[in-house]
Amino acid sequence: MGLDSLRNYRLFYGIYTNDWTEDFGSGYFSDNHYLLVDEYISDGCTTTETSGCSSGVTNYFLYPHHIDKKYFIEGVIKGHITIAASGATSTVTSYRVIVCKIHTDGTDTELFSTGDIVVNDTLNWDSTYSIGDERVYPFWIDAWQNKELTKNERIFIKIHLEADSNAVLYHSNDSTWEDIKIEIPLIL
């Protein structure tokens, strides 16, 4: 039996909940609305579809639940993010996706990263119809060295973008689009 048969591949989607917050530790996860979910919630729930992603802005999405008392991330992490122009033509120069763990004291550890992916894309804005180009950016991370997580730690992802102020990161609560999607291989 190969190691791949021991892996449990978990899909997560990034959403922003308006009326629900999670508190875990401190810092960016106190009164947090950005969540990783393993199933989309009802589309009747109030959520926010986009967040600004101008240069230097990092968005943090937390999976606030227990997965197991002790588990490891190992294998190929894959997924995609969606960026669009909003209000005017936008330029996206690079993006980076980082898988992290946060401890109950609020400190965090970066586990795996795509590194900076240089794209230099122009996303056009159509003022007649008030709609902008959307780009879906895929990523793959080779998580070769397994990383341990315990019951007192939670998985989260950082999405760091270099873009102008007209760019937005999509995180709609809509299974049709799957704006932020990440599959993480776990050994339980």
Rounded to an integer, what distance in angstroms lies between the CA atom of residue 12 and that of residue 36? 6
User: What pLDDT does residue 133 have?
Assistant: 96
Asked if residue 58 has pLDDT above 70, the reply is yes
Backbone φ, ψ for residue 98 (5° rounding) = -130, 130
**Which residues lie closer than 8 Å to 106 by C-beta, 6 or more apart?**
25, 26, 27, 29
User: What pLDDT does residue 29 have?
Assistant: 74
User: What pLDDT does residue 1 have?
Assistant: 43
Asked if residue 65 has pLDDT above 70, the reply is yes
Instruction: Give the pLDDT mean for 122-130.
Output: 95
Mean pLDDT lowest for which of 50-64, 88-102, 128-142?
50-64
User: What pLDDT does residue 21 have?
Assistant: 80
CA angle 67, 69, 71 (to 5 degrees): 70
pLDDT band at 26 (very low <50, low <70, confident <90, very high): low
**Beta partners for residue 106, in sequence order:** none
pLDDT: is 167 or 6 the higher one?
Answer: 167
Asked if residue 159 has pLDDT above 70, the reply is yes
Closest CA to 22 of 58, 53, 61, 68: 61
User: Diameter of the chain by CA atoms?
Assistant: 58
Give the CATH number of domain 11-187: 2.60.120.260
User: What pLDDT does residue 12 have?
Assistant: 98
DSSP line for 129-168? TTEE-EEEEEEEEEEEEEEEEETTEEEEEEEEEEE-TTEE
User: What pLDDT does residue 4 have?
Assistant: 59
Closest CA to 93 of 123, 67, 119: 119
CA angle 137, 57, 125 (to 5 degrees): 55
Asked if residue 60 has pLDDT above 60, the reply is yes
Instruction: Give the pLDDT mean for 43-69.
Output: 91
For 36-45, the pLDDT digits (tens) are 999 999 999 9
For 87-121, the pLDDT digits (tens) are 999 999 999 999 999 988 888 999 999 999 999 99
User: Residue ranges per domain, the chain?
Assistant: 11-187
pTM of the predicted model, to two decimals? 0.92
